[in-house]
Amino acid sequence: MEELPERSTTIPIPRPAATTTIATNMNISELLQNDSKVKVAGIDSDGVLRGKLMSKDKFLASLGHGFGMSSAIFGWDMHDVLYTSTATATATSDPNPTPAEIGYADFIAVVDLGSFRRIPWEDDIPFFLLRFNSASGVPVHADGRGMLRSINDKLQKLGYSARAGVELEFMNFQTPAEDGYGQGQRRDLAAFLDRNTPGALRPLTQGMFGYSLTRQAANKGYFHDIFDQASRFKCNVEGWHTESGPGVFEAALAVTDTQEMADRVTLFKYLTKSIGVDYDITPCFMAKPTTGLPGNSGHIHISLCDAATGSNLFARGSADPDAPWSDVEHVSDLGRHFLAGVLEALPDMMPMLAPTVNSYKRLVENYWAPVDISWGLEDRRSSIRLIAPPVSSPQATRLECRIPGADLHPHYALTAIVAAGLRGIRKKLAIPVPPTAVRTDTPERLPDSLAAANARFRAPASVARDLFPPDFVDFFAASRDHEIRVFRESVTDWEFRRYIETV
């Protein structure tokens, strides 16, 4: 239960209402008739938006066949450093495969018209998300939006649909200039950090003020602008408050289907960072920004519904007198199998839920973050919190995966959870461990570093190889190897302070 902060001080500018029209090939020209340019973006393997501005004419001309976009976005890390591995971002069977092997030639970017919205803080410029295919027309398996669409297609064939909600916690810092916090200087965080330690950054507010109303007022312009702009940007927030920690906020994004939810998580980060520029505030979605405080969580709530009726498939009509534990007496057999599938897969799919070196600094004891394979009804100590009657309505029955931090790649994480749950349903798996409240044994620990997690993820017998294409497993594991190597080659502030005078 990592808690959140407060906001800022200016009167927000009124904006038009959110875009509600659904874009199609038939109406897109009319929707853009008063526009001259369009912004587009895809999402790389670190969950980072990679995009550009296009003229409207170029955009419209590309709708039938897509347009070229460098495959380097799946061949480098979040700071544009190329991977040294030859693992492929596309299937090895693809006649036009991977970035390095083809000299980082273009992939084909395909516009998703269903993602249409306008960017209210940029004069309502039209915005669209992308998917990526190879030159052969084969979906790029490293493309998280395509991965999630594929798993949702499998759900649809079974008559299911998946719905999700995500809670994002993030710390906010006052943005410095290169020379510090003097007045009248251009704000430049990267330049400041080239010359100063992270500890020199000032949080937006000091102190621990979870659910504080007065701390919101300290930065009310920023606080309210994010909420209002999120609605206009189709990233609706249903709950928005300060959390426990200096300058920490928490946003509960309104429940929707998993594809839209993953998009909204990525776009909410884009929104807050963009709005922060106007207030000289830098929102931080690192899993663990500071030592000695709770981290920033990215909890995922998930349920399966009947695609035709919308009824919750995790809910049971009446209490099961023969339930193995009272925690699941109101949970359907399908819901129990889904839970079992997630629990069994957790240790082998951790990089999909906790993808950075910093992710594992959050997953430590005594900071409201899970460290083992565990679950329980309304149990916030566990990796999977079950929410079901009698503590909720049947229609609200769901699982909350508490492992992800705010640094999650939402498309990878949701794909992993749904794929693991479906595997549990397919195999009719039984829940492998008792709920936390009644356990008498010592739970199996989750991997406690990205290196340990990556070793399990890529192992020949890993459950991950049953959930995802083997070529994707090899590609993503290689990308995490790169992240681990870059970290190991770095000298941290902690090391320097600890050893400079003592060894």
* Alpha-carbon dihedral angle through residues 138, 75, 151, 42, given to the nearest 10 degrees: -90
First to last CA, the chain: 39
pLDDT band of 184, cuts 50, 70, 90: confident
**Close Cβ partners of 354 (under 8 Å, ≥ 6 residues apart):** 287, 360, 362, 363, 403, 404, 405, 407, 408, 450, 453
pTM: predicted TM-score of the whole model, two decimal places: 0.94
* CA–CA separation, 316 and 297 (whole Å): 30
Is residue 184 within 8 Å of residue 193, measured between CB atoms? Answer: no
Is residue 441 within 8 Å of residue 111, measured between CB atoms? Answer: no
The whole-number average pLDDT for the span 223-235 is 97
Compute CA 334 distance to the chain's CA centroid, rounded to the nearest angstrom: 26
The pLDDT assigned to 13 comes to: 40
Is residue 403 within 8 Å of residue 380, measured between CB atoms? Answer: no
Is the sign of the CA dihedral 147, 153, 154, 156 positive or negative? positive
Rg (CA), the chain: 23
Query: Per the omega criterion (within 30 degrees of 0), is the bond before 390 cis?
Result: yes
Is residue 448 within 8 Å of residue 360, measured between CB atoms? Answer: yes
Mean pLDDT of the chain: 92
Tens-digit pLDDT profile for residues 193-221 = 999 999 999 999 999 988 889 888 889 99
Tens-digit pLDDT profile for residues 321-357 = 999 999 999 999 999 999 999 999 999 999 999 999 9
pLDDT for residue 453 is more than 90: yes
Is the sign of the CA dihedral 64, 69, 71, 74 positive or negative? negative
**Strand runs labelled E in 98-153:** 106-119, 125-133
Tens-digit pLDDT profile for residues 75-111 = 999 999 998 876 666 665 665 555 666 678 899 999 9
Which domains are delineated in the chain?
28-147 (3.10.20.70), 317-489 (3.30.590.10)
